[in-house]
Amino acid sequence: MESAAGKLVIFSAPSGSGKTTVVHHLLKVNPKLSFSVSATTRKQRPGEVDGVDYYFLSREDFQNKISKGEFLEYEEVYQGLYYGTLKSEVERIWSNGNAVIFDVDVVGGLNIKKIYGKQALAIFLRPPSVEVLMERLKRRETEVEHQLQERVGKAQKELKFEKEFDIVLVNNILAHTLAEAESIVQYFLTL
């Protein structure tokens, strides 16, 4: 099997759009992909595993890594809540001969694309509508009402960036979205 090292696939979307579902599916069906585990200061949710779902860091540890230049990109997504991509993750995955797949917020995805250019495929996963996004977030039952409103407000701002991505994929019917994502990524990895 040909090495996919040196390539990156970036999935960005407003929270609740389904990017984690799409990325997990692609990891199951494409052995050339390895997940870039992001670092975050947010609290660990039930069922999440440190070092698998995220590197859960204290704010102090996160800021220490920032000062040492260990992040490829990072952002304070919400007040006091940081997310970022460690440079060591890309190096680890490429050293194993795989392509990196990211599940990152919109700004982070665009920052990675700017750094890697044509080595990276940036895909914006779009919900069919803001109303559908709100329903999906409510079904997750991970936020209270003011947090839902904050996420929807942020999503409306993030939707304005979709044209800066290489591809916009609307997640309306999940089975169709998964099939299209498989096709897009497989084609990119063969270039």
Interatomic CA distance for residues 80 and 20, integer angstroms: 22
* Ramachandran quadrant class, 145 (left: phi over 0; alpha: psi -120 to 50; beta: rest): alpha
For residue 148, the model assigns a pLDDT of 79
pLDDT one-digit tens code per residue, 87-103: 999 999 999 999 999 99
Interval 10-37 mean pLDDT: 94
> Which range scores top for mean pLDDT: 11-20, 94-103, 149-158?
94-103
Interatomic CA distance for residues 116 and 18, integer angstroms: 24
pLDDT one-digit tens code per residue, 39-56: 999 999 999 999 998 999
Q: Is residue 159 scored above 60 in pLDDT? A: yes
Q: Which class does domain 8-190 fall in?
A: alpha beta
> Residue 1's pLDDT band (boundaries 50, 70, 90)?
very low
Q: Which of 27, 28, 8 is nearest to 93 (CA)?
A: 8
* Tokens at 15, concatenated: 């929270």
Q: Share the mean pLDDT of the chain.
A: 92
The whole-model pTM stands at: 0.85
Q: Which long-range contacts (CB under 8 A, 24 or more apart) does 181-187 make?
A: 181/22, 181/25, 181/26, 181/123, 182/25, 182/26, 182/29, 182/30, 184/121, 184/123, 185/9, 185/26, 185/30, 185/33, 185/101, 185/121, 186/30
For residue 88, the model assigns a pLDDT of 94
pLDDT one-digit tens code per residue, 31-43: 999 999 999 999 9
For residue 2, the model assigns a pLDDT of 56
